[in-house]
Structure 1
């Protein structure tokens, strides 16, 4: 029977086959001959739906078709809308009659080629995630400083189609869980309304749209969001200053007749299976939980993470100390050439105003509370700092929630945007 398991036996080529091999029509065997040998009863693997789909793929790769069949059947009984499981089920039946050279070759319909390709991509994303154990052994370089009230943070790896939850344990991001997720049809780095891309950057969950509310306000369209939606703060302050447009970027579930969508299939939102969206939801604090969306997650040792955290804290405290000590020029040197304030001032106007204000000060005291620092990735990495600023001087007392965005200029971290936090 080993000839029936070609796509399973070629484990080293599996990832390439998932992405590149075209679907093929099954060849009908001679009806006068037995079509397949009777399959013994298998043992179904246990675990989450994702663990079981990966277990079924492992069984096929190892030639254990009976266990693969039992696992897929049990999974479909529990999740009757799991399309990837149906694809494997079709392959398992086809393998009884002929060898298959790739996942989905048993489907036999060229009209379904695009959907089969999407399912291959989903399988690839799930397999690739299992091969990367970094979240359990290393720390995310993007989650540097939690504000005390922020119990959890969410990290979205756009390239891996993966969403992670980390808990604030004495300031250290500690892994809680992760799930497969769908992002925009055209990928990430959203720039304008309707471009079907998922934004990159640091955002905050700023609402919860329950399913009953969506049913009332969206009618039949409510089913698109499954169990509900959790809007995030796109466009944020820096997005607006760069002319980025759009709205309605949410974390949400999927329609009732779908277990999971393809890795790139939304209009820009981050979507998960309904079961997994509810799992993520229990860690969300509306108005507090950061959602950091990066092109590719970076995992570092705790020593490296601590070094980056200390450096980020030093940046912010250096800025605060120079401002408080009325060291006007060193303070202004902290701002980038392309700096913009929330009221539209460029660096020249900002500097002129600050010099004038500083001239009237004899002393000042500045305290920063509820400080958080998160790092986005990509070709132009940024630091997003948020805090409650308590400013006191000889002629002014002021408290405000402030946000800064830092970016490297000639290898030095500088502030490119500063203003009131939305």
Structure 2
């Protein structure tokens, strides 16, 4: 327990240094730990693992004053991922620190201020995700019932810049892995075409656009999407009813010469590093896989999640079609919206799949849209 608390304190120190303005602030190196010339010259020990584990380990080492280990880790990471811009930024800082103290991450680098700020945000998002990882047994309130045909579900936490992948364990989501991600330049809550925001709500993967197809369609602009794109069903049925506009919201990769983009830099899409997007894409079922985008995931203990799930199921008890377990999925949108989305088989309507959007008004759940589903 004490080692965990100590590591958390170090991570917190680095986070503070990431957000502090350059002027008149503490040094980048932990001010409580002087870095001796011997420590500067000794050979460091590189951390192994995924690129994200390595970058977080480097940041952790900086916070602990272990600069040689941080340099060794960053150097090893750049051999593995030569296009990792955040790693290049840290490399410049670490080597500059041999000669002078730095005031903030990126203090030794030159370049557009907006780009440097984006890299600082990326560092902060990655280290925050490491510090605030949900408990292993926690379940998301946003995924309540997965239909039998839905082998996987994707849940996007906009605040944390994370995409979580869940498998279907007899209707219950089981967390498999998660990835760093990029969302819209102006955040979330898309309302209209071109607002550079990522939509909030329950969507479904509707297609796949391989890179070769994008090259034919877009020419040189296709490079923005890396290995390819997977469109999702924005605007969904409720978006259309409520007058939201726009199109072309995709899950997609990043340019081949870029390991990752800053947290808020897309035009509204959800962008992942190419290797992460490739890993995620192997679990995407066209027309079936849900993509739930929320401001912040509501992680619950299993017993509390089960209670919420049962309460959500009880609101459907008067609709016989919705009580067929195999064909039913039930998801909760952003917590601030008090919204639930039920999808189930119903041979009485066109397409055979029915969707209901429920909204809580004055402590009561009411249907605000009911009709044929476009996907899912």
Separation in structure 1 between the aligned mates of residue 351 and residue 248 of structure 2, nearest angstrom = 31
How do 1:1-400 and structure 2 match up within 5 A? 12-22=12-22, 39-107=41-109, 109=110, 112-134=112-134, 136-320=136-320, 370-391=327-348, 400=352
Contact 2:14/2:59 (8 A) holds in 1: no
Separation in structure 1 between the aligned mates of residue 244 and residue 11 of structure 2, nearest angstrom = 43
TM-score by length of 1: 0.80
Contact 1:144/1:309 (8 A) holds in 2: yes
CA-based RMSD: 2.3
* DSSP 3-state at the match of 2:112: helix
Separation in structure 2 between the aligned mates of residue 92 and residue 245 of structure 1, nearest angstrom = 46
Contact 2:298/2:335 (8 A) holds in 1: no
* DSSP 3-state at the match of 1:304: helix
Q: 1:171 to 1:72 in 2, by over 3 A?
A: same
Structure 1: gaps of 5 or more residues: 1-8, 25-35, 324-365, 392-396
Q: 1:23 to 1:277 in 2, by over 3 A?
A: farther
CA positional deviation for 1:12: 4.2
Q: 1:48 to 1:399 in 2, by over 3 A?
A: closer
Q: 1:41 to 1:388 in 2, by over 3 A?
A: same
Q: 1:23 to 1:209 in 2, by over 3 A?
A: farther
Separation in structure 1 between the aligned mates of residue 202 and residue 214 of structure 2, nearest angstrom = 26
What residue number does 2:368 align with? 416
CA positional deviation for 1:16: 2.7
Contact 1:227/1:278 (8 A) holds in 2: yes
Separation in structure 2 between the aligned mates of residue 185 and residue 215 of structure 1, nearest angstrom = 24
Separation in structure 1 between the aligned mates of residue 351 and residue 213 of structure 2, nearest angstrom = 36
Larger Rg: 1
Separation in structure 1 between the aligned mates of residue 137 and residue 101 of structure 2, nearest angstrom = 39
Separation in structure 1 between the aligned mates of residue 42 and residue 133 of structure 2, nearest angstrom = 34
Contact 1:104/1:116 (8 A) holds in 2: yes
Q: 1:250 to 1:95 in 2, by over 3 A?
A: same
Q: 1:87 to 1:399 in 2, by over 3 A?
A: closer
Contact 2:10/2:60 (8 A) holds in 1: no
> Relative to structure 2, which stretch is displaced further, 244-253 or 9-18?
9-18
What residue number does 1:345 align with? none
Q: 1:163 to 1:256 in 2, by over 3 A?
A: same
| Deviations, residues 138-176 of structure 1 (Å, cap 9, x unaligned) | 001110011111010000001111100011112211110
* Aligned pairs, number: 355
What residue number does 1:336 align with? none
Structure 2: gaps of 5 or more residues: 1-8, 25-36
